Structure 1
């Protein structure tokens, strides 16, 4: 009987210890609904000559207690004050006639873990009838990265571009070891979103992309930097 009790207690102890090894709950990323990707948002409620209130919407995500709405003005690269909510909608006032990006971070309060949605771009409608392209989103090399050049002493620069009017015309690449980069090294058409640059080892480089549409409207990606081994 004594051996039975010892064995039973050992099993209980092992079970209780094992339960503590369960991974902490990790939330899933939310799916964005509105404003639509690469669209013009015309549903904002005007609150002043320069601002309108836009309602953002996303789907509920599993293992999530709250959401953090992140909205960035792409003209100034200034982020709005993040808005925390347990709901799947939130309304904020943003500038008219301005490009924005938005994303949602799902939060699990018990574990402290988070998950981030995709990032969508949109123009908040203003009085203009034509819009500049969205600023190109620089992808690779990531800003602050250290990269290995190819045997041909080259690095491939990659970005993403979009335009609410669907009239993108070209991308001009500025690349230099000086900041800001003022040397134009090449122009690609609207469907080519990469450029191969010649580099040297142990050098920091700066690059940006200027997008142009068929109306002559332009936008600037802002500057990324990277170092070559």
Structure 2
């Protein structure tokens, strides 16, 4: 009986001393620059650059944030670490960018990324290049199920500050990168059904072209079929 009492007491003490696992930092909600917009720089930073302010809401269980801004034309990434929810960067004028904020906590190796928003840093340009199309379905790296006609729907969305998108070119292949133009659609079409086979990995991208002949290329997305 005495031994059983010691065992129970030991378990109680162990439970009392055991620390809870650290919670992962939560996802940031972005505020500005607004999604698919032309930003308003704080000030000019010379002939070719301007200072852009970024703002987001604080995330729970987060100590620090990493702001990551990508020039969509060059692929160059600029980043800053901060404990604040406001940060600035000097960016090239007349270029499209994407931005994300990564939440971090020193008590865990887990980090959490925000959504990725696109914006345009204004310059002296008259015509804007369309933002790269956002590939929305199938979700990147997911498994897509064929319908009764052995088809899967590809879905995407596009945005141009001049509102003059003319067409989308859908490239689709079992090879990466996809170089086969499956079909070109007009600006009002954001979905295309394609025939697929089971247990195959497919890659696809969308090239957006506006009425001025400007074009942009989306990221490459992949999915597996069932």
**TM-score bucket of the superposed structures, by smaller chain:** 0.7 to 0.9
* Structure 1 residue 225: Cα displacement: 4.1
Q: TM (normalized to structure 2)?
A: 0.82
Matched residue SS, 1:14:
helix
Matched residue SS, 1:87:
coil
- 2:33 pairs, out of 32, 35, 39, with 35
* Structure 1 residue 122: Cα displacement: 0.2
Mapping of 1:1-229 within 5 angstroms? 7=5, 10-11=8-9, 13-14=11-12, 16-17=14-15, 20=18, 22-80=20-78, 82-142=79-139, 147-201=144-198, 203-228=200-225
Supply the distance in 2 between the matched residues of 1:179 and 1:108 (Cα, whole angstroms). Answer: 36
Equivalent pairs counted in the alignment come to: 226
Supply the distance in 2 between the matched residues of 1:19 and 1:195 (Cα, whole angstroms). Answer: 58
* Structure 1 residue 202: Cα displacement: 5.6
Sort the Cα spacing of 1:117 and 1:179 in 2 relative to 1 into closer, same or farther, 3 A. closer
Matched residue SS, 2:69:
strand
Matched residue SS, 1:29:
coil
* Structure 1 residue 40: Cα displacement: 0.6
Structure 1, unmatched stretches of 5+, are none
